[in-house]
């Protein structure tokens, strides 16, 4: 075997162990007994120690030094690029620190969940302070004298910088705020009201998952507090949640997570258990979940079909016709929760978190000041006060598990989705006719062939620019939002 073959064989075993570690996380969120949390933290720390040792094994460095990238094909060079990036980053972080982060964040997840349920910020802040201290230490090791937040971003969006994201968000925020103000002054579409059986919700949500191409022979749908997708390749699982008063939360959480899962399921099987056999970045990942959920799932054509399915599942539910249902699905509502926010307001939630976590990592904001800073910023952006911590600083799991640098990829994914949507609509002029029949296959096939099958073969920006045949810009997303909500709310010139 060649040095490259030896490296890839070693890497496949590492990737397989990483999948096992991910399954432990899935179990912790869905089925693990609450009392098992301390033991699970030790298990996660042990797995991280094993993975860290493999990623920094001396033979990996030897192979990387021996292999001539020019002797490899495009796939080989891309694998080598990703293995080298992981090796160099992991070498900068001491194994003891990596294991401690894994242990503390596993424990923190349960502490956060209990604090959130009790609306008790004080119960969580000491743990959050420890997580931030450890993550800042990790970021400093990775940055090697550079910007700590930029170093942390690389785990989620390679090539991105905080300054670039800040500039993009500064462009987006005033447009979104002005459009939101105009919508709030206009007559709103009808609101969905009533009680919707949770068992019937889960039955329809599985139908929706299949309608969007989710392969249930390689996946499953479970319930969790915070919907998520887990795994890659042949085992990709999703979760959703139900609320008797809000079936849209269940349906669109499912469609969103199917977007993530379909990306993983549709990557070329030749890349299975290699660095290319997973989504290239969280921004690109989010572009798939958001375009599935919004541009496809909340379109006028698809909601017409969903209206008929809901009538079959629940009978008459107070919405007169498909047009009124389209308005109800896309209604701009006051609310506190990011994951439940409409398309128009969603990015404002993300920008709030981006600014706060960047300040935390840079030492410009103390943990003791976080709740007050959150509440002040929320009231300034949304015009009303946070009523309780579970609707504010305690609502998201991300900080408890150390995912600093993750939040901005949600908005970056929306920007990417805007670019992809313009290209998809141009390529599929008859798409609405298919969506009106509940057939998403033209759209999902286009995304599979344009984005998903490549996995990590290309870099994130290259992946999106190649698929959309345009430079990445917030303009397509902002134009789409102006047109959609301008039309829904009868605003002059589409908003």
Q: Each residue of 56-112: pLDDT tens digit? A: 999 999 999 999 999 999 999 999 999 999 999 999 999 999 999 999 999 998 899
Q: How far apart are CA 299 and CA 214, in angstroms?
A: 19
Identify the CA nearest to 190 among candidates 302, 331, 314: 331
**What average pLDDT does this structure show over 447-471?**
97
Q: Look up the pTM and report it.
A: 0.94
User: Regarding beta strands 235-240 and 221-223, do their DSSP bridges make them parallel or antiparallel, or are they unpaired?
Assistant: parallel
Q: Each residue of 203-234: pLDDT tens digit? A: 999 999 999 999 999 999 999 877 899 999 99
Handedness of CA 138, 144, 150, 151 (dihedral sign): negative
Binding residues for Zn(2+): 256, 260, 286
Q: Are 395 and 441 in contact (CB under 8 A)?
A: no
Q: Is it the case that residue 494 has pLDDT exceeding 50?
A: no
Per DSSP, the three-state class of 344 is helix
Alpha helices in 235-369 (DSSP H): 247-266, 282-290, 300-314, 322-329, 343-361
Q: Is it the case that residue 35 has pLDDT exceeding 80?
A: yes
Confidence band for 495, pLDDT divided at 50, 70 and 90: very low
The reported pLDDT for the residue numbered 286 is 97
User: Regarding beta strands 221-223 and 229-232, do their DSSP bridges make them parallel or antiparallel, or are they unpaired?
Assistant: unpaired
DSSP 127-175: HHHHHHHHHHHHHHHHHTTS-HHHHHHTTTSTT--HHHHHHHHHHHHHH
The reported pLDDT for the residue numbered 1 is 61
**CA atoms within a 13 Å half-sphere pointing along the CA-CB vector of 168:** 25
- Catalytic status, residue 171: no
Mean pLDDT estimate for the chain: 96
Q: Each residue of 298-326: pLDDT tens digit? A: 999 999 999 999 999 999 999 999 999 99
Q: Are 267 and 453 in contact (CB under 8 A)?
A: yes
Q: Where are the domains of the chain?
A: 3-146, 162-494
User: Helices 247-266 and 198-211, interaxial angle, to 10°?
Assistant: 30
Q: Is it the case that residue 470 has pLDDT exceeding 90?
A: yes
Options 1.20.1510.10, 1.10.645.10, 2.40.10.10, 1.10.1370.30; CATH for 162-494 is 1.10.1370.30
What are the phi and psi torsion angles at 223 (to 5°)?
-105, 145
Binding residues: 256, 260, 286
- What are the structure tokens assigned to 184, written together? 């709030």
Task: Choose, from 257, 293, 343, 371, the residue flagged as catalytic.
Answer: 257
The reported pLDDT for the residue numbered 168 is 97
Q: Each residue of 387-417: pLDDT tens digit? A: 999 999 999 999 999 999 999 999 999 999 9
Q: Is it the case that residue 24 has pLDDT exceeding 80?
A: yes
């Amino acid at each position: 075997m060649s040095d490259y073959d030896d490296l890839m064989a070693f890497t496949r075993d590492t990737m397989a162990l990483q999948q096992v570690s991910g399954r432990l996380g899935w179990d912790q969120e869905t089925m693990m007994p609450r009392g098992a949390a301390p033991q699970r933290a030790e298990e996660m720390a042990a797995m991280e120690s094993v993975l860290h040792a493999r990623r920094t094994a001396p033979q990996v460095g030897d192979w990387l030094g021996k292999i001539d990238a020019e002797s490899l094909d495009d796939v080989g060079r891309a694998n080598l690029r990703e293995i080298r990036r992981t090796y160099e980053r992991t070498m900068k972080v001491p194994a003891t620190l990596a294991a401690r982060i894994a242990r503390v964040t596993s424990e923190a997840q349960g502490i956060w969940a209990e604090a959130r349920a009790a609306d008790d910020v004080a119960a969580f802040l000491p743990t959050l302070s420890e997580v931030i201290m450890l993550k800042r230490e990790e970021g400093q090791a990775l940055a090697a004298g550079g910007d700590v937040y930029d170093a942390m971003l690389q785990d989620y969006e390679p090539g991105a910088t905080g300054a670039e994201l800040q500039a993009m968000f500064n462009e987006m925020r005033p447009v979104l705020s002005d459009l939101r103000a105009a919508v709030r002054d206009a007559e709103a579409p009808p609101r969905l009201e009533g009680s919707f059986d949770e068992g019937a919700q889960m039955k329809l949500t599985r139908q929706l998952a299949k309608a969007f191409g989710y392969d249930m022979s390689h996946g499953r749908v479970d319930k969790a507090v915070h919907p998520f997708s887990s795994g890659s390749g042949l085992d990709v699982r999703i979760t959703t949640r139900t609320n008797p008063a809000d079936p849209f939360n269940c349906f669109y959480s499912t469609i969103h997570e199917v977007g993530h899962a379909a990306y993983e399921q549709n990557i070329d099987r030749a890349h299975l258990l290699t660095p290319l056999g997973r989504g290239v970045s969280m921004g690109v990942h989010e572009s798939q979940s958001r375009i599935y959920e919004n541009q496809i799932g909340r379109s006028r054509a698809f909601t017409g079909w969903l209206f008929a399915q809901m009538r079959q599942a629940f009978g008459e539910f107070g919405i007169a016709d498909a047009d009124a249902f389209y308005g109800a699905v896309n209604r701009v509502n006051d609310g506190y929760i990011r994951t439940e926010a409409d398309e128009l307001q969603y990015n404002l939630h993300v920008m709030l978190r981006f600014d706060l976590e960047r300040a935390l990592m840079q030492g410009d904001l103390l943990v003791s000041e976080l709740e007050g800073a959150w509440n002040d910023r929320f009231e300034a952006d949304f015009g009303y006060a946070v009523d309780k911590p579970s609707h504010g600083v305690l609502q998201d799991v991300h900080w408890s598990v150390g995912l600093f640098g993750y939040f901005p990829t949600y908005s970056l994914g929306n920007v990417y989705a805007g670019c992809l949507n313009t290209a998809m609509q141009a390529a599929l002029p008859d798409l609405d006719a298919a969506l009106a029949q509940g057939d998403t296959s033209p759209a999902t096939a286009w995304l599979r062939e344009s984005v998903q099958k490549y996995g990590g073969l290309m870099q994130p920006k290259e992946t999106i620019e190649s698929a959309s045949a345009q430079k990445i810009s917030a303009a397509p997303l902002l134009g789409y939002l102006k047109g959609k909500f301008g039309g829904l709310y009868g605003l002059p010139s589409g908003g």
